[in-house]
Structure 1
Amino acid sequence: MTLAPTTKGTVPFGEYETWYRVTGDLSSGRPPIVVVHGGPGSTHDYLLSLTALAEAGWPVVHYDQLGNGGSTHLPGRGSDFWTVELFLAELDNLLQRLGIADNYVLYGQSWGGMLVAKHAAARPAGLRGLVIANSPASYPLWRQEMDRLRAELPPGVDETLRRHEAAGTTEDDEYHQAMRVFYERHVCLLKPWPRDYLASFYEVYNDPTVYYTMNGPTEFHVIGTLRDWSVEDCCPDIQVPTLLISGRHDEATPATVQPFQDLIPDVRWEILENSSHLPHLEEPELFNKIMTEYLQDLR
């Protein structure tokens, strides 16, 4: 269940606007959980179930990263504009504008996990804890694992995908049907797909500028500007207690998560056995239990 927002609006980010919503009381004294969504180029919608943490006493902040959802869309901008540094600056700006930069916890999911790892490595004074969920530490590792997972798809599926990728016809219905086979195995096990996930899924393709530029046409065909990016080098600099979350059937396979476990000094890893890339939707009770216990331990 998604709790209604306490407030929502936009904050200025240079000449642009970043959309946000808050659930709970930012003045409660407890560090708010700032939720950083995946993509890049997705939206907050598929992570709305994290508002349940507000019922347990932790305010929750969702936002849409620039280029998507309720934030400013810039379909004419190219790869020189859409950079990791841009999104780090946007996150810093949001924390300052909401007045929470001196006391907060970050939850980053998928690409958002890499972004919050990079943020945390700068050792911001107000960061109290870090959750990296369903995230690789390295896109080169991710691409290797995508090849392995694709090879395990039913006969003919990967062949269909690669034929369209080689021809540049990834908009074709046949490609999307084959793509769905992968997504139903490694992105969302639930049938039908939940409304919140569908909302973000459709938002990506309503304006795919950021996703296509930085990632590529699908989760498993990463040909964008992030294809060689890694945060492995900065993991030893993360100094806050860190929780890793992934699903047993996750596209973020154990091999892609392992560097976080190996390199972050204060870290523990929870693998949810009946989940893929969205354990907060696939196993919500266990997910909320793990999150609440982690947050209580930060006190």
Structure 2
Amino acid sequence: MAPTPHVKGTVPFGEHRTWYRVTGRTGAGRPALVVVHGGPGSTHDYLLPLARLADDGWPVVHYDQLGNGGSTHLPGKDTGFWTVELFEAELANLIRELGIGDDYVLFGQSWGGPLCARHAMTGPPGLRGLVIANAPASYPIWLTEMARLRAALPPDVQRTLLRHEAAGTYDSDEYHAAMRVFYDRHVCRLTPWPRDFLSSFMEIYNDPTVYYAMNGPTEFHVIGSLKDWSIVGELHRISTPTLLISGRYDEATPAVVQPYHDEIPGARWEIFEESSHLPHLEEPERFFAVLTEFLKSL
């Protein structure tokens, strides 16, 4: 169970509200760690274990991105509303509203990774470090790797996926069961799935507005606004000390993560041999050792 937050609430973001929680006290010595969740369309819940870093002096900020969790839901917005720029602006606004812009570290997981990378490209003077975990830098590369991983699934699972995709019945129990085979291999290899991960998973299911608009109906079908999105050509602009994290069985395969390592000067890459997409849950002891070492190095 995550430590009790010292403060939680919402901050204004235009006409809307961004929900946040802070564990530990900001401005007390060490930089705040801002945790940016994946999706797009997930919530902070599955990343709550990072709050334990507050016990060692790093205040930890979690938040739910607009359209999700405790932040303003906007199911009536058309797909054109949900842009990368919107979420970049929300992250910058949160940092400003919480008054931590002079001393902070970003931790971006999955979709949160390229979002944090884009923020780092602006050269914020108070950004001390950047952690990009299990994240794509190019959705065209992501799609190529998804196809490769899918092709390795059992033939009966592939037939079930194809049958329901042809019929458009993505919400059927049979399709979900077939997708679960992929998830158990490449997203979370723990049995049963941890409660916090289930919470985030169900949040997407309950309000898929953002996920459908930016991603699409499944991990295999990125047909939303991110379909052709890539930041590979911009990564050289990042000068912040950077740690890359991925799992050996990760849906964010080495080919997906490689551009960050190639293009960000001095980026360090740690691969977790017993993990897929969630090393902080699958190998927590090593994960926190690696992350703490990086934070101390800053």
TM-score over 0.5 for the pair = yes
Matches within 5 A, 1:246-265: 246-265=246-265
RMSD: 0.8
Q: Which residue of 2 aligns with 1:111?
A: 111
Q: CA deviation at 1:221?
A: 2.1
Q: For the residues of structure 1 that align with 2:222 and 2:128, how far apart are their CA atoms?
A: 32
Deviations 1:70-94 (A, max 9, x none): 0000000111100000000000100
Q: Which residue of 2 aligns with 1:237?
A: 237
Letter in 2 for 1:212: Y
Asked whether the equivalents of residues 188 and 277 of structure 1 are also in contact (C-alpha less than 8 Å), the reply is yes
Q: CA deviation at 1:120?
A: 0.6
Letter in 2 for 1:87: F
Asked whether the equivalents of residues 117 and 235 of structure 2 are also in contact (C-alpha less than 8 Å), the reply is yes
Aligned length: 298
Deviations 1:162-221 (A, max 9, x none): 222222111111111100000000000000000000000000111100001111122222
Name the SS of the counterpart of 1:229 in structure 2: coil
Q: CA deviation at 1:29?
A: 2.3
In structure 1, list runs of 5 or more residues that go unmatched.
none
Find runs of 4+ consecutive structure 1 residues off by over 3 angstroms: none
Q: For the residues of structure 2 that align with 1:145 and 1:139, how far apart are their CA atoms?
A: 10
Q: CA deviation at 1:136?
A: 1.1
Q: For the residues of structure 1 that align with 2:251 and 2:147, how far apart are their CA atoms?
A: 11
TM-score (norm 1): 0.98
Letter in 2 for 1:52: R
Q: For the residues of structure 1 that align with 2:124 and 2:26, how far apart are their CA atoms?
A: 19
Name the SS of the counterpart of 2:87 in structure 1: helix
Letter in 1 for 2:233: D
Q: Which residue of 1 aligns with 2:286?
A: 286
Asked whether the equivalents of residues 34 and 107 of structure 2 are also in contact (C-alpha less than 8 Å), the reply is yes
Name the SS of the counterpart of 1:252 in structure 2: coil
Q: Which residue of 2 aligns with 1:31?
A: 31
Q: Which residue of 1 aligns with 2:167?
A: 167
Q: For the residues of structure 2 that align with 1:7 and 1:102, how far apart are their CA atoms?
A: 20
Q: CA deviation at 1:13?
A: 0.3
Letter in 1 for 2:37: H
TM-score (norm 2): 0.99
Q: CA deviation at 1:102?
A: 1.4
Query: Are 1:6 and 2:6 counterparts?
Result: yes
Q: For the residues of structure 2 that align with 1:232 and 1:119, how far apart are their CA atoms?
A: 14
Q: Which residue of 1 aligns with 2:212?
A: 212
Q: Which residue of 2 aligns with 1:70?
A: 70
Q: For the residues of structure 2 that align with 1:279 and 1:32, how far apart are their CA atoms?
A: 21
Q: For the residues of structure 2 that align with 1:216 and 1:233, how far apart are their CA atoms?
A: 24
Name the SS of the counterpart of 2:80 in structure 1: coil
Asked whether the equivalents of residues 20 and 61 of structure 1 are also in contact (C-alpha less than 8 Å), the reply is yes
Name the SS of the counterpart of 2:155 in structure 1: coil
Name the SS of the counterpart of 1:156 in structure 2: helix
Name the SS of the counterpart of 2:174 in structure 1: helix
Letter in 1 for 2:294: Y
Query: Are 1:88 and 2:93 counterparts?
Result: no
Asked whether the equivalents of residues 29 and 57 of structure 2 are also in contact (C-alpha less than 8 Å), the reply is no
Q: Which residue of 2 aligns with 1:192?
A: 192
Q: For the residues of structure 2 that align with 1:146 and 1:163, how far apart are their CA atoms?
A: 18
Q: For the residues of structure 2 that align with 1:195 and 1:217, how far apart are their CA atoms?
A: 23
Q: Which residue of 2 aligns with 1:180?
A: 180
Q: CA deviation at 1:151?
A: 0.4
In percent, how many aligned pairs have the same letter? 71
Q: Which residue of 2 aligns with 1:59?
A: 59
Q: Which residue of 2 aligns with 1:222?
A: 222
Deviations 1:235-261 (A, max 9, x none): 100001000000000000000000000
Name the SS of the counterpart of 2:196 in structure 1: helix
Q: For the residues of structure 1 that align with 2:167 and 2:97, how far apart are their CA atoms?
A: 46
Name the SS of the counterpart of 2:291 in structure 1: helix
Asked whether the equivalents of residues 24 and 54 of structure 2 are also in contact (C-alpha less than 8 Å), the reply is yes
Deviations 1:122-148 (A, max 9, x none): 111111100000001110000000000
Q: Which residue of 1 aligns with 2:296?
A: 296
